[in-house]
């Protein structure tokens, strides 16, 4: 039997790799990529009963590693948008689904207009609204634009949906004439 640590007062010092293996740590970072080290330490302590100690530099390095992996996952997903939209348009005759790329070949903005919504223009009221929602995702800082109309039953229906980098005049002009 090892008695060397019987009266030891030292605390464990988890490594960056051990921290990024904790599901609570990863989910907290993915929910808010800029969460403070103190908040991360508290959440892991509360939920898992694991002490990350007072090793804030290691916690910050682990947080950045999780954010980097999440960014890579999102980037790979975003690269699939043009193909997915082309397939959507192919399978939904009359619908519009377009992705626009920037000078570096990255997806700049995308729009989807379902044919069923465009065809219902005659039956809906002439009440339109635009709503923009700024993304809270730590790895995507763009804006979701939604064009909403009212149907004959006074219910809101989505007519068009777009992802754009910023809520500005250029993106509104691009979104509305579509």
Task: Kindly state whether residues 103 and 156 are assigned to the same domain.
Answer: yes
Task: Kindly state whether residues 169 and 139 are assigned to the same domain.
Answer: yes
Rounded CA gap, 157 and 151, in Å? 7
Task: Kindly state whether residues 59 and 143 are assigned to the same domain.
Answer: no
Task: Kindly state whether residues 106 and 120 are assigned to the same domain.
Answer: yes
Task: Kindly state whether residues 167 and 90 are assigned to the same domain.
Answer: yes
What lies within 8 Å, CB to CB, of 151 at 6+ separation is 120, 123, 124, 125, 157
The pLDDT, as a whole number, for residue 124 is: 65
**Residues linked to residue 98 through DSSP beta bridges, in sequence order:** 111
Tell me the pLDDT of the chain (178 aa) as tens digits: 454 556 666 666 888 999 999 999 999 998 887 889 889 999 998 998 888 877 888 999 999 999 888 888 878 888 898 999 999 999 988 888 999 988 888 888 999 988 876 666 666 667 678 889 998 776 678 899 998 887 777 788 888 899 999 999 999 999 887 5
3-state secondary structure 48-74: HCCCCCCCHHHHHHHHHHHHHHHHHHH
Residue 143 is assigned to a structural domain of this protein: yes
Task: Kindly state whether residues 43 and 125 are assigned to the same domain.
Answer: no
The pLDDT, as a whole number, for residue 1 is: 42
The pLDDT, as a whole number, for residue 139 is: 64
The pLDDT, as a whole number, for residue 97 is: 92
Domain count, the chain: 2
Give me the domain span that covers residue 167. 81-175
Does the global pTM surpass 0.85? no
**Residues linked to residue 157 through DSSP beta bridges, in sequence order:** 149
């Amino acid at each position: 039997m090892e008695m060397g640590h019987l009266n030891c007062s030292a605390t464990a010092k988890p490594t960056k790799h051990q921290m990024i293996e904790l599901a609570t740590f990863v989910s907290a970072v993915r929910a808010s990529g800029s969460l403070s080290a103190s908040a991360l330490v508290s959440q892991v302590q509360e939920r898992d009963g694991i002490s990350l100690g007072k090793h804030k530099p290691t916690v910050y390095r682990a947080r950045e590693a999780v954010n980097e992996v999440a960014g890579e996952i999102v980037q790979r997903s975003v690269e699939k948008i043009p193909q997915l939209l082309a397939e959507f348009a192919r399978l939904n005759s009359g619908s519009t689904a377009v992705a626009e790329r920037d000078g570096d070949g990255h997806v700049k903005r995308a729009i989807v207009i379902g044919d069923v919504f465009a065809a219902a223009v005659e039956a809906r009221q002439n009440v339109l609204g635009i709503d923009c929602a700024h993304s809270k995702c730590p790895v995507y800082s763009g804006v979701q634009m939604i064009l909403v109309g009212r149907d004959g039953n006074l219910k809101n229906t989505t007519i068009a949906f777009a992802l754009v980098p910023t809520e500005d005049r250029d993106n509104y002009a691009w979104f509305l004439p579509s």
